[in-house]
């Protein structure tokens, strides 16, 4: 069982990273796609992933249900700047700063790829927006980044990935919601 889960978990991580890489190329961030989620292969993240592997959603979810937290998640969010949680500092005056563009672009690709991998043939262009509506109330994220993600996922829901996930569109969304505020920081 352990070896079987290890192989399956490795395959899911690698498939996810491959999809993120392809999507990141579309938004002009191939390097972000190439280095995306490398920490998932670290012992802290990988072994927990094996233990809680199910193939339907992130093992982190089941670990949190089991013991109340996830060492893998704490490790992961502290090393991967494409997660909004990386940018949270509750003791700072600006608790959730504007995230730099390259990480926002990677974040959008990550969100799409996660749904594509875990939902498989059941994935629809509306799925990510519905999941975001559920997820967004559980995390701290800069209001402008929240608006950008929501706008982007609404566009995907209406028009599909291929029309929406372009370097031009993602950059325009970033400039619309974040550029002025980012320049002031």
- Per-residue confidence (pLDDT) for residue 1, from 0 to 100: 63
What are the pLDDT digits (tens) for 31-88?
Answer: 999 999 999 999 999 999 999 999 888 999 999 999 999 999 999 999 999 999 999 9
- Per-residue confidence (pLDDT) for residue 180, from 0 to 100: 63
Identify the three-state secondary structure at position 134: helix
Question: For 119-127, what is the mean pLDDT?
Answer: 95
Six token digits for residue 150: 């929501």
Q: Spell out the residues 6+ positions from residue 44 whose beta carbon is closer than 8 angstroms to its own.
A: 71, 72, 75
Give the pTM: 0.93
């Amino acid at each position: 069982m352990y070896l079987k889960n290890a192989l399956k978990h490795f395959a899911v991580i690698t498939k996810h990273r491959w999809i993120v890489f392809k999507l990141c190329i579309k938004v002009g961030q191939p390097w972000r796609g190439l280095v995306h989620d490398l920490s998932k292969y670290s012992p802290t993240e990988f072994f927990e992933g094996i233990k809680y592997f199910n193939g339907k959603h992130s093992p982190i979810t089941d670990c949190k249900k089991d013991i109340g937290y996830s060492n893998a998640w704490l490790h992961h969010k502290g090393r991967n700047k494409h997660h909004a949680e990386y940018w949270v500092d509750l003791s700072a005056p600006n608790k959730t700063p504007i995230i730099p563009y390259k990480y926002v672009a990677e974040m959008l690709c990550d969100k799409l790829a996660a749904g594509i991998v875990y939902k498989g043939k059941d994935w629809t262009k509306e799925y990510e927006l519905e999941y975001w509506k559920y997820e967004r109330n559980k995390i701290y994220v800069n209001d402008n980044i929240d608006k950008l993600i929501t706008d982007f996922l609404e566009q995907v829901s209406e028009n599909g990935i291929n029309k929406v996930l372009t370097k031009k569109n993602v950059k325009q969304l970033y400039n619309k919601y974040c550029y002025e505020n980012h320049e002031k920081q």
